Structure 1
């Protein structure tokens, strides 16, 4: 696992990129940004126009897919708390990094397509 400060920097390459697709793979989700891929093993919470959706909320998949084509405005990581992507048009995606929310050994993985792999 790479250090948090380095991970904070690596996610910055998503700023200005649009989310190009969402792939639902059994028990995890892959978010693609025309190259770089963020895999969420701990399923994210999506907030659109002030309404939050988790996997148990009706409309979750629609809310997640509504992020396709939206540009990432900023990224942040709060150690042991959350990975957050803030999109244009009042939307956000949060992957919990809290121990109690982990579904397996990792919460998320980021492949920036530069030969590195980042795991939280």
Structure 2
């Protein structure tokens, strides 16, 4: 099911920055920053890579310059962000994958939070 909460990101600029912060990742898309806290997976072709896999960080960086074309929620399982060259960013919604109370934060570059998604929501 398309996720209307994140749909606004499909109408913005391509990814201009990927920031690997100590224990989370940020994606800058125009005036928005998406911070993702659980460990990510990246699907490219038939391969699914996690942070422990060789090439994972390179794959995440290839999102720079790509547009987000769809944001899909599989309830209680994962968020899938599909980018213009077919790469998918997979974010777990399973509580057992939590590294803290929040799944992600969508904010404007001004710092105003638009969405704060938590595991208990």
How high is the TM-score relative to the length of structure 1?
0.84
Partner of 2:15, secondary structure, is coil
Take 2:113 and 2:55, find their aligned partners in 1: how far apart are those partners?
36
Pairwise CA distance, 1:72: 1.0
Q: Deviations over 1:71-107 (max 9, x none)?
A: 1111112222111110112210011010111111112
Q: Are the aligned partners of 2:39 and 2:97 in contact in 1 as well (CA < 8 Å)?
A: no
Take 2:64 and 2:18, find their aligned partners in 1: how far apart are those partners?
7
Gaps in structure 1 of 5+ consecutive residues: 1-7
From the two aligned structures, give the one with the greater strand fraction: 2
Report how many residues are paired.
Answer: 114
Gaps in structure 2 of 5+ consecutive residues: none
Quote the RMSD (CA, aligned, Å): 1.9
Deviation >2 Å, runs of 4+: 112-118
How high is the TM-score relative to the length of structure 2?
0.84
Equivalent residue number for residue 48 of structure 1: 44
Q: How does 1:49-68 map to 2 (within 5 A)?
A: 49-68=45-64
1:105–1:91: structure 2 CA closer, same or farther, 3 Å change rule? same
Q: Are the aligned partners of 1:38 and 1:108 in contact in 2 as well (CA < 8 Å)?
A: yes
Is residue 33 from structure 1 mapped to residue 10 from structure 2 by the alignment? no
Take 1:115 and 1:63, find their aligned partners in 2: how far apart are those partners?
27
